[in-house]
Each structure stands twice: as structure tokens, then as C-alpha cells.
Structure 1
């Protein structure tokens, strides 16, 4: 009995000693982990177990700075970048203090794991990140196919949508975002498989489909030009050749259309063309071009023709015309724009006729320019001004200046030649002009020129031959 009591005392002593040791260890542990992180504590995948706050902060900062990030396209390794290159710094002060403050060092557990779930701890130098992505993509995108938007293409007799083409080049904003997210989450692998540039327009794009329907409609229209009483047809086949699609817009070949307008101008315009003219005394004569005549103003007409075609409806229009003598009804012959109201000056016969609406109103002898250096220029001209009491100035053959006062002045060309009274001329007609001709003007008897002045209007053609 005494021996059993003795054994019990020994056991109790051992247990007591163990309790004391355990208590001491528990106390030591509890005190120690009040200033150190518990075992198993990780922050951003950095193990900070048993480290003090300053040690943990230093380790986290160094790990982030020395970490490497590898960029992948699927399973293909592209390149690698260090945290230092990206200007990564850590801002773990608040978070580490929070862990230290909230961990319970007196709990009987032996492992506590803490993980940051935000990117607030990691700072990335945005400027360095942008520079890195710019430089990296310059290399990575070399030789890679860029995406191609879906577009409308022309076939021999139709139009269709050519689907978009996927690209292999990387998009800057997508790559920047992927790198930033991986770094923020402490992921050493940066996957760029979803960072390729995408086509902006796909084959199912609503606007593209709408434009295809519009271009097909335009391809069927017919246009007509009415020019000086004649009709020219713009066929669907012609429009098909002009139509195109570029940069998301329906286009028309401006060069080809300009060439078409030029061909119409060559066919119908009268400006700068000689004419067959039925004269009063000499029958049909060829008169060179002068300032009289009209032409198609291609510069103004081209955008108007473009707009009317793109409207997608059949149309009839007259082109924009510049010059004089144009008639919507025409005169049968495209070059017969002189009409039946005009002044005729026959230098050979030294005579002038004034016709109004086909009726002869005035005919008179005249004196034209001296053929020895001052010949009156031939051509189809026009009265472009009417002036009373003007002074005509010029230079004589000997270099002296002259100033002639006239009561009636009607300039007809672009060199200073015109019709006017000439009270200094003692006679008109015949061969008088050969020795006493003018400086190029058409000298007219004063009484007659007054009637002409009151009868004619500006723009009236003057045929000199």
C-alpha cells in the first residue's frame, strides 16, 4: 500500500512537471507569436512564417522585386520580365499589421494561413509597364498577321461579304491588363492567349449587311444625262465598274467617272472648238475657237453625280455647265451653239451683219484691223461688256501711245478687241483697211454703231472670219 502511494506520487510529479513544461512552452509560444507571424502564414504566396513584422515586410518586398513573370501564348513561351523591370513595389504595411493584430497566438492550433485577396499591396509603375509593353509588342508582333475586318468585295457580276480574318498580333491594352492582373495576383505565368487583336468588323456586322444591300441596289440603277437636247445613258454595267467598297464606305471610282465626264465634254462641249458656220456671202466657212462656247464643269459635276448615284435611285439630270451658248434644246448640230441671234464680221468683204432671231436687222461696211501687225483676230467671240463714252488706249507701231475716245464700246475678246464707233475714219469697206486699218478693233460708222449698241446684249456671239 505504501509502495502504491509512492508510485502515484511519482506519476503526479511527472505529470506536474510536464504540465509545467507545456505551460512554459505555451507561454513562450504565445508571447513569441505576439511579435512574429504564425506558422503557415503566407502573403501573396510569400511564406512569412515565424518572421517578425520588419523581416516579413523586407521578404515580401524582396520577393516581389526579384520575381520573374513569363509571358505565354497558350503553351508557347514568349518572353520573361522581372518585377524590377516593371517597377514593382509593395505596400504591405497595413496588411501585415492587420494579420499581426488579428492572429491569436494563444490558440492551440499550430498552423494559420493568411492570404491577401486584393492587389492593394502591390504597386506597379504604370509608366514602366507601358514602356515594357510597347517595346515587347514591337518585337512580338513582327511577322505576325494582323486581323482583317470583314468587308464587301466585288466579283465579276455581284458583291459579297468577305469574312474577317483572325489576327495573331497582340493588343496593347489587353496585354497591359493581363500583365497587371498576373502581377497583382502574384502569378508568375502571364497568359496572353486572349490578348490577340480582334477584327473590328465581322461578317455578321449589321452595318456591313446593310451596306451590302445598298450597294446591290445601286448596282441596278440607270442614269440619264440630257445635254444640249441629246440623251446619254449611264448603264448599270458602267456603275458596276465604278462601284467599290473601302474603309467601311461604299465608294465610286472618281478617276473613271471624271474620264466619263471628259468624254461627254469632248463629244458635246463647244468651248475651244472650231465651228462650221453658214456665212451670209461666202457659204459655209470654218471659224476657229474664240471665247464663246460652253463646257461641262467636271469639278462641280463630279460630286453631284457621285451623290445621285449613291442615292440608289434611277435618275435624269443635266450636267453643270460653264460658258456661253448652251441650250437645253440644242441646235441639231452640237457645235451649232451660235443660234440665230449673232453678229457676223466678214473681214474679206469688210462687212458686218446683225441677226436677231434669224432676221437681218443691220448690215454695214466696217474697217477691221490693219493686216500688217494689227489684224483683227478670227474666232467665235462674244460681247462681254457695253460701255458709253470710253477711252481706248494702246501703242502705235512706232512705240508712241494713243488714246481714242469713243461713244460706244463693246469688247468681244480677251485681248482688247471690240466693236466701236470711229468718227476719224473717212470711209468704210473695200480695201481701205489694208492701209488705214485699226489696231484690231472693228471700226463702225457712228450712226450705225449706236443702233447696234441699243440692240445687242452681253453674251451675244460675234463670229469673225
Structure 2
């Protein structure tokens, strides 16, 4: 029993000695790290492992004395900002000591296995004006070298739209780059990759953007439209070869219709459709051929409305046959749009004919306006505005009731004239109307009973 007791006492003594050695070692290391940074410590890019505050200050001072910040730019361009450019000086203001003091030296056993990378701001001073001057002189801001970023766009090629790849350019986000440079200098960083830092202005839309792909689909839908205009003597077709010249895409990826170009195209169709007020060849009832111009009869295209209609049709990708919108309409689209239903008024011979569907319904002598500036019946081709019974004609110095009235040019119209004892000949020179066509009652009534609003009235001198 005594031997076992002795052995037990020796074991306890051994353990105490062992732990005493360990504690002494731990205490020694703790004392060492009380004045030195832990292994694996890096401060602003300087290896501070096992170094004192003074040693780290010295290393950082040397680093900043030879400091150069390299700017890596697009296109393989590299520029530098050196300590001497901006009068850069190291001045820690005790911040390294403060960092050391925050570390518990007795915790070295845990810290020694963890690498620490510290970035401390404000360890340097520099001349801000010099930095701004050097910044402004960077080649990245040379207007002759700046390439503006451009969105992906579109090109019409081989009967369809294809995407034109974006231009990344090299234009800088000036404020952001300046802030990144200040931050890099403050932290002692020696390289600044403008691409990685996202310091470039980039296109809003690239060739893979969903919006660009959708716009391409829309453009190709629009040019799939086929719109045909058929007219007397021919046909015009609006298809992709025409539509692509009307489409543009703006910087916001919106499809814009060139309405001026569309109006120009439609004006070309006017020669086929628009006859309003134009000169026409006319064969008279006496067998002579002449040209008559003026008046308000014929077809007149509503261009603005027609452009709107075309845009709707194109956006829907339609294939349609179309007739233009009109502000004024004739009776037919034949080459001779007067047709075979019309009133013919020979102002020289003072005679009127009325044809309906090519058949002579009535004719007879009439009395037209007295040939003075304020009473003459003007030549031209007009359309009958309406017809009315028991109207009262009023003007300066007169108010005259008539049985039938058929106006075709403002207040000028065909009506019965019971006050005229004779018609035709030269009577209009002395007893002419105020512009109206004075007709025998029977003739006026016959015309009234068979005519409709819109019928052409051809007035001419021969």
C-alpha cells in the first residue's frame, strides 16, 4: 500500500510539472503577442505576422512612399496614379496601435489558426486638388478617345430584321470611378480594375436582352403585313420592302413609325385616288371635248387618318385589300369618276342636260348668273349638296320662294324660276340670276324627282 501511495504522489507531481511548463510557454507566447501581431495578420497589404506596431508602421510608410495605383481599363489601357502625383504621405495617427490594442494577447491560441486581413482607412493624407487635377487628365476622359455605349439595335437584311450587337464603349461613370480611386488609395490597394468595379456606363439593352428579342419578333411581325390598294388602271402593294423603311427603334427600344415617310408614300397614291378639284376631260352633249377644272367634286384622301389605319393594320400583321379614308367622295373610281349620272350645264349656250345611268332624263334652256363679279355662275365640277322643296331664297335685296331647290356650289343651285318669261340665249346678260340656275318649272321638277345628293354638276364655258 505504501508503494502505491508513493507512485501516486510521483504521478501527480509529474502532471503538475507538465502543466507548469505548458502554462509558462502559454504565458511567454501571450507576452510576445502582447507587443506583436498574430501570425497570418495582413494590414493594408503588408504582412504584419509577428511584427510590432513600429515595424508595421515602418513597412506601411515605405509602401506608401513608393505607392502607385494602377488603373486597368478597357482595350488594354493602363494608367497610374503615383504618390508623388498627389503628395501622398503615410500618417497612421495611432490607428495601427489601436488595432493592436483591440487584440487580446491571451487569445493567441485561437487566433493563430485564423488568417486576418485588415483594411484600415485613413492611414494616408494627400492633396485633393492634385488628385482631382490628375483624375481629370486621365486618358479615359479624353473626348477623342471616348466611345459612347450603344444599345443593341436592328438591321433589315435579306427580308427580315436581325439584331446588331451592342457597342460597350469606354465611357466612364466619373463620380463612381473617383470614389473607387479614393477608396483604393485610402486602403493602400495598388490595382483597380475598372471593369470589375463596374465603372463603365453600359448599354441599357444588349443582344441577349429579353426586350431586344421581343422587339425583333415584333418588327418581323410588322413587315409580314401585306396591304394592297386597287384602283382604276392599277394596284399598289405595301409589303416588307416598303414597311421596313417606315420603322425605326429609339434608344428606349420603342418601335417608331416614320409618319412623314408614310404620308409621302400615301401622297403618291393620291394620283390614283384623289380627283378632288382636279382638271378633267369632258365630252359635252354637243360632241365637243374640253377640260374642266375647279369645283369641289371628287375624291380627297384623309392622309392623317389613312396613316393611322395603316399603322393599326401593320401592327396586327394583316394581309388586306384596302381603300383609303376620304374627306370628300365621288360616285365611282373609274378613270372618269364623273360616271354616267350627272348634270351638264353649258354656261355659254345657257342649256342644261341631266343624265342618269347614261340615259338623258331632261334637258332645256336655263338662265344662269349675270356675268358680274358678285353674280356670275362659276365653272367647275361640283356635287349636289342636297335637294329641298318649298325653299325661300334670300339675298341682299330679295327673298324669293321656289318649289324645288338643289344647291351645288354654296348658295348656288338649280331651281324653278316662274318670274323668268324666257330661258336660254342672251337673257342672262341682262336678267341673269344671282348665281343660281333659273330653270323652267317642269325642267326643275323633273330633275328634282330623279336626282340624288352627291350627283356631279359639270359647269363649263364653251
Q: Distance in 1 between matches of 2:193 and 2:311?
A: 50
Taking a change above 3 Å as real, the CA distance of residues 211 and 379 of structure 1, as seen in their structure-2 partners, is same
Q: 1:454 to 1:119 in 2, by over 3 A?
A: farther
> 2:171 aligns to what SS in structure 1?
coil
**Cα pair 2:68 2:80 within 8 Å, conserved:** no
Cα offset, 1:97, TM superposition:
8.3
Q: SS of the residue aligned with 1:232?
A: strand
- In structure 2, stretches of 5+ residues that fail to align are 1-26, 58-63, 87-91, 124-128
* TM-score, structure 2 as length reference: 0.64
Tell me the residue number matched to 2:189: 187
Say whether residues 1:462 and 2:457 are aligned partners: yes
User: What's 2:202 paired with?
Assistant: 198
CA distance 1:433–1:276, shift in 2 (3 Å): same
- Secondary structure of residue in 2 paired with 1:405: strand
Tell me the distance in 1 between the aligned counterparts of 2:118 and 2:401: 103
Instruction: Report the counterpart of residue 295 of structure 2 in structure 1.
Output: 290
Q: Cα RMSD between the aligned structures?
A: 5.1
Alignment of 1:215-294 (within 5 A): 222-227=226-231, 231-234=234-237, 238-239=241-242, 242=245, 245-247=248-250, 248=253, 254-294=259-299
How many pairs does the alignment contain?
Answer: 390
Is the CA contact 1:150–1:164 (under 8 Å) kept in the aligned structure 2?
yes
The answer as to whether partners of 1:385 and 1:410 remain within 8 angstroms in 2 is yes
Alignment of 1:16-415 (within 5 A): 40=37, 45=44, 72-73=72-73, 76-77=78-79, 103=104, 140=141, 142=143, 143-155=145-157, 160-171=162-173, 175=177, 178-179=180-181, 182=184, 185=187, 187=189, 189-194=191-196, 195=198, 196-205=200-209, 208=212, 212=216, 222-227=226-231, 231-234=234-237, 238-239=241-242, 242=245, 245-247=248-250, 248=253, 254-327=259-332, 330-331=333-334, 334=335, 336-373=336-373, 374-386=375-387, 388-394=390-396, 402-407=397-402, 408-414=404-410
SS in 1 for 2:310: helix
User: Aligned pair in 2 of structure 1 residues 449, 362: CA closer, same or farther (>3 Å)?
Assistant: same
**Which segment is superposed worse, 144-153 or 253-262?**
253-262
Q: SS of the residue aligned with 2:371?
A: coil
CA offset at residue 288 of structure 1?
A: 1.8
- Compared CA separation, residues 240 and 358, structure 1 to 2 (3 A): closer
* Range 274-283 or range 97-106, more displaced: 97-106
Q: Deviations over 1:155-177 (max 9, x none)?
A: 57765443333312223576367
- Would the alpha carbon gap of residues 224 and 78 (structure 1) be closer, same or farther in structure 2, given more than 3 Å must change? farther
- Whether the 8 Å CA contact 1:222–1:233 is kept in 2: the answer is no
Alpha-carbon contact 2:331-2:454 (below 8 Å) kept: no
> How much has 1:369 moved relative to structure 2?
1.4
Deviation at 1:417, TM superposition (A): 2.6
* Aligned-residue offset at 1:456: 3.4
Q: Distance in 1 between matches of 2:108 and 2:162?
A: 74
1:178/1:191 contact within 8 Å kept: no
TM-score, structure 1 as length reference: 0.64
Q: CA deviation at 1:368?
A: 0.6
State the Cα distance separating 1:273 from its structure 2 match. Answer: 1.4
